[in-house]
Copies of this chain bind each other. A is one copy, B any other.
């Protein structure tokens, strides 16, 4: 018997638990020649604001031990051009389409939610709350539980689509933020976004990124991401989508066992576009070996009995 690899996330049915992470899969069509799209349950498109944005100057990326830094500055084409130019081609490809939205103000998030609400082919909204709030000196919405909740409320009010705030790892207490956005009406949560980090060219004494600070992604951050997913899944009742450095089925399973219903893959798709089919095959094999009729049975099944987590 085939194990059931489909998952359901607050009304959103996905054929597989594998989702392309925002900002790493463009507007969804770029990898058509080399990725097996039938392995993808959904695609989250590059973060969109209301209007196009130029992004940061180069250099924008740098490789670090088992990770990569990026400071793209959310270069994007604006929601209108996305709907007009990109979405039609994307709709026919199979995976569900989730739109990652960004705002400089609370109002911008609300406006984006209303615009996307009626657009054919959009299955859900992921809210990128790791954006600077221009009205409050650039503090990231996601680093303040109140602001994170208000962004969620305003998006919730603007749309009937599933609303998925994407949490920033850069907070003292992720469970507190998770609970706040859950009460504010989130249907699910996704995490983690990249971790603020930097590198320096010591010969020139310049930062490796023109923006000085960027976001760290890739296998280096996986143990941090698994911990944050575990803490979040224990704090909320809504489904959690986990990500951070997934490269293999075993990595995806770590997130699922820690509490994720589905997972996203970003950086490792750059390294190896066969990651999707390899990972899906690995999940299927695991379900068979462990006699699971559905991958969903595995969510949150960490055997932490007897363990007494304390300081270390």
Name A134-184 residues within 8 Å CB distance of B: 138, 140, 143, 170-173
* Interchain nearest-CB distance for A199 vs B (Å): 5
* A100 touches B (CB below 8 Å): no
Whole-angstrom distance from the CB of A102 to the nearest CB of chain B? Answer: 9
Give every chain B residue within 8 A of A66 (Cβ-Cβ). Answer: 65-67, 219-220
A311 at the interface (CB under 8 A from B): yes
> Of the candidates B69, B205, B307, which one forms a contact with A303 in the assembled complex, judged by CB atoms under 8 Å apart?
B205
Tell me whether A213 is interfacial, beta carbon within 8 Å.
yes
Instruction: Encode A271-312 as 1/0 by CB contact (under 8 A) with B.
Output: 000000000000000100000000000000111100111111
Q: Select one of B64, B200, B254, B310 contacting A202, CB under 8 A.
A: B254
In the bound complex, what is the Cα–Cα distance between A210 and B307 (angstroms)?
6
Bitwise, A203-232 to B at CB < 8 A (1) or not (0) is 011110111111110111111101100100
Binary per-residue interface labels of chain A (31-71) against chain B in the complex, 1 for a CB within 8 Å, 0 otherwise: 00000000000000000000000001000000011110111
| Chain A contact surface mostly | loop
Chain A interface residue bracket vs B: 35 or more
A258 contacts B by Cβ under 8 Å: yes
Contact assessment for B222 and A64 in the assembled complex, using a CB-CB cutoff below 8 Å: yes
Q: How far is the CB of A268 from chain B (nearest CB, A)?
A: 11
In the assembled complex, the Cα of A172 lies from the Cα of B167 at a distance in Å of 13
Beta-carbon contact of B212 and A197 below 8 Å: no
Of B198, B230, B257, B307, the contact of A230 (CB 8 Å cutoff): B198
A16 is an interface residue with CB less than 8 A from chain B: no
Q: Is A93 an interface residue (CB 8 A)?
A: no
Q: How far is the CA of A170 from the CA of B172 in the complex (A)?
A: 5
- Contact at B211–A302, with CB atoms within 8 Å? no
User: When the two chains form their complex, are residues A257 and B205 in contact, meaning their CB atoms are under 8 A apart?
Assistant: yes
The answer to the question of A12 belonging to the interface, with a C-beta cut-off of 8 Å to chain B, is no
Contact of B220 with A200 in the complex, beta carbons under 8 Å: no
Report how far A288 CA is from B100 CA in the complex, Å. 50
Measured between beta carbons, the chain B residues less than 8 angstroms from A209 are 312
Residue of B nearest to A309 (CB): B212
User: Is A121 in the interface zone, CB < 8 Å from B?
Assistant: no
Assembly CA distance A204 to B257 (angstroms): 10
Instruction: Give 3 nearest A-B pairs by CB, closest first.
Output: A197-B223, A65-B219, A65-B66
Q: Write 24 A-B pairs (CB below 8 A) sorted by A numbering.
A: A56-B312, A64-B222, A64-B223, A65-B218, A65-B222, A66-B66, A66-B220, A72-B312, A74-B311, A74-B312, A131-B311, A195-B224, A197-B226, A197-B227, A198-B223, A198-B226, A198-B230, A199-B254, A202-B257, A205-B302, A211-B310, A211-B312, A212-B230, A212-B309
Q: 17 additional contacts, CB 8 Å, given A65-B218, A199-B223, A207-B302?
A: A64-B223, A74-B311, A130-B311, A132-B310, A138-B311, A170-B172, A197-B226, A197-B227, A198-B227, A199-B222, A199-B226, A205-B257, A205-B302, A211-B308, A212-B230, A214-B312, A219-B220
